[in-house]
């Protein structure tokens, strides 16, 4: 087993909608999003938080207490043994949730039958991905998203509103694209300053998204469920 664990959140009521869950944070992410709030998990060569065997012991202690386990990151789809790891967790009686940015089509296709719910990060309009998200590929992201939309898996698309990555007009365009594709649940998330951020966007530019009531009303009209997550 080569899945590398960067951390564990033993209990959450918000990361897997409608379920009591724990979160397994996978170590390593190929992307370098400017607003990343888990920069300490980006390095694939980082030191594991705990071993896989220790995590399995944790699972055994949580049977009948938790409904599911969320694989988060970092980027879970960058883990070679993701399918085998998820299968072990599912066979132990837990539902499987996934947080992903859609970096590997074949790996997502492999694990799709194991999934109950996915939180899918859509960073910006597809024609701006390579310019603004280092090491990304828009065609891969879009293929992963389309696969999830066509599946029975519960899906939440979400976008972190960093003005360096997406503008108001681009957000409108992205939301319309997602709605046309068939996304029913969409969340916008406020950029949160990371302590290591050297050139963060101006706070007024971050807040401007959420102060624009016309923008929010237009987004809400496009989706069956529209969620606003503000930084605490």
Domain extent, residue 18, equals 5-229
225-229: strand order across its sheet: 5-12, 21-26, 68-72, 95-100, 117-121, 154-161, 185-190, 225-229
What is the domain-level CATH number for residue 161?
3.20.20.70
- State the Cα–Cα distance between residues 71 and 206, nearest whole angstrom: 28
pLDDT tens figures, 109-118: 999 999 999 9
Q: What is the pLDDT of residues 7-52, one digit of tens each?
A: 999 999 999 999 999 999 999 999 999 888 888 889 988 888 999 9
Query: Model pTM greater than 0.85?
Result: yes
* 3-state secondary structure (DSSP) of residue 173: helix
Structure tokens at 189: 């998330």
Residues of the chain with confidence (pLDDT) below 50: none
The domain total for the chain is 1
């Amino acid at each position: 087993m080569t899945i590398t664990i960067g951390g564990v959140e033993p209990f959450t009521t918000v990361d897997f909608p409608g379920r009591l869950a724990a979160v397994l944070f996978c170590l390593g992410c190929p992307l370098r999003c400017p607003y990343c709030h888990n920069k300490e998990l980006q390095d694939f060569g980082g030191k594991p938080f705990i071993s896989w065997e220790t995590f399995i012991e944790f699972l055994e202690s949580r049977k009948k207490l938790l409904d599911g386990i969320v694989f988060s990151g970092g980027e879970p789809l960058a883990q070679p043994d993701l399918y085998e790891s998820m299968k072990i967790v599912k066979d132990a009686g837990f539902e499987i949730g996934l947080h992903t940015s859609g970096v590997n089509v074949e790996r997502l296709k492999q694990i799709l039958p194991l999934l109950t719910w996915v939180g899918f990060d859509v960073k910006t309009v597809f024609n701006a991905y390579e310019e603004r998200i280092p090491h990304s590929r828009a065609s891969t992201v879009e293929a992963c998203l389309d696969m999830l939309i066509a599946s029975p898996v519960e899906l939440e698309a979400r976008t972190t509103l960093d003005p360096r990555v997406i503008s108001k007009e681009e957000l409108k365009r992205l939301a319309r694209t997602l709605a046309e594709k068939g996304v029913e649940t969409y969340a916008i998330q406020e950029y949160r300053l990371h302590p290591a951020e050297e050139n963060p966007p101006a706070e007024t530019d971050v807040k401007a998204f959420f102060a624009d009531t016309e923008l929010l009303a237009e987004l809400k009209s496009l989706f069956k469920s529209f969620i606003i997550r503000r930084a605490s």
